[in-house]
A = this chain, B = another copy of it.
Amino acid sequence: MLDLANMTPKEVRALIGKNEINKPTSGMCKGHIQANLVIVPKNLAYDFLLFAQRNPKSCPILDVTDVGSSEPRLMAKGADLKSDVPMYRIYEFGELVAEVSDLTDYWREDLVCFLLGCSFSFESAMLNASIPVRHIEDNHNVPMYITNIETEPAGQFHGKMVVSMRPIPYPLITRAVQATSRFPQVHGAPIHIGDPSVIGITDIHSPDFGDASLIKEGEVPVFWACGVTPQSIAMTSKPELMITHSPGYMFICDPKDEDLAVL
């Protein structure tokens, strides 16, 4: 049995690249940044980069490859984004058309890869600050909701913000804001605390993505901008081609979560 939690990112990426690991990456390479992946052709790259720039809470950029390159130089020198993610999704004109474990057959010389911060990093910060995270305790996927919050559009890209929700006990809400504020590059502080209807969520028990989390007596739903926003934006904006990771199957970076702290 491999000790994936304590292996280095380079070791785990090598196994993923050879298809010897093909499962969600949660818990792997403890303490290291995991990232969302978005790949678009060069003719859409400016619009997407600008979209991310205008929507830093949902799309915080960690790295952008040069055109035609699949090496994320800043986050993982020598890695290959064509193979080092366990599962990819191919969207054409907003439709999910394939889910694959390797992009070699889909690669084009005009593609640009974006790595975006992921909530795994701020959940580590929460756990370090003794704030329990329900979906980790209960071992299910985080609940995610499409809100009524318009993202700032950019060129072809527009649509609603997606948020993730974690139930937090009243005495820990301030601490949760503080702990996650230190990490603006991985979604940062919450965007909403309390009544879900204020941001257009009508049924907290029926998330649009992921699984429902139990909200216990004395707990408040707290919402963070979510890295699934680009996939929702793809469905709304219908770009010719967008390739992403499959939810939960992230890219593991060399730097550590704490390297991203602003304070």
Chain A residues within 8 Å of B, Cβ to Cβ: 45-46, 49-50, 53-54, 61, 64, 74, 152, 178, 181-182, 184, 188-189, 262-263
Contacts and interface: CB of A to CB of B under 8 A. Distances in A.
Contacts of A188: 262
A263 B74 CA distance: 26
Contacts of A178: 263
Contacts of A152: 74
Contact of A263 (B50, B64, B181): B181
**Which 7 A-B residue pairings sit nearest by Cβ, starting from the closest?**
A46-B46, A181-B263, A184-B262, A49-B49, A181-B262, A53-B61, A50-B64
B189 A262 contact: yes
Contacts of A181: 262-263
Contacts of A262: 181-182, 184, 188-189, 262-263
A183 to B, nearest CB: 9
A54 to B, nearest CB: 7
A5 to B, nearest CB: 30
A50 B152 CA distance: 19
Nearest to A155: B66
A148 B46 CA distance: 30
Contacts of A46: 45-46, 49
A13 to B, nearest CB: 22
19 contacts: A45-B46, A46-B46, A49-B49, A49-B50, A49-B53, A53-B61, A53-B64, A54-B64, A54-B74, A74-B152, A178-B263, A181-B262, A181-B263, A182-B263, A184-B184, A188-B262, A189-B263, A262-B262, A262-B263
Contacts of A45: 46
A90 to B, nearest CB: 24
A246 to B, nearest CB: 25
A188 B185 CA distance: 14
A152 B46 CA distance: 18
Contacts of A49: 46, 49-50, 53
A263 B262 CA distance: 10
Nearest to A47: B46
Given A262-B181, A263-B181, A263-B182, A53 B54 contact: no
Given A45-B46, A54-B64, A263-B263, 19 more contacts: A46-B46, A46-B49, A49-B50, A50-B64, A53-B53, A53-B61, A53-B64, A54-B74, A74-B152, A178-B263, A181-B262, A181-B263, A182-B262, A184-B184, A184-B262, A189-B262, A189-B263, A262-B262, A262-B263
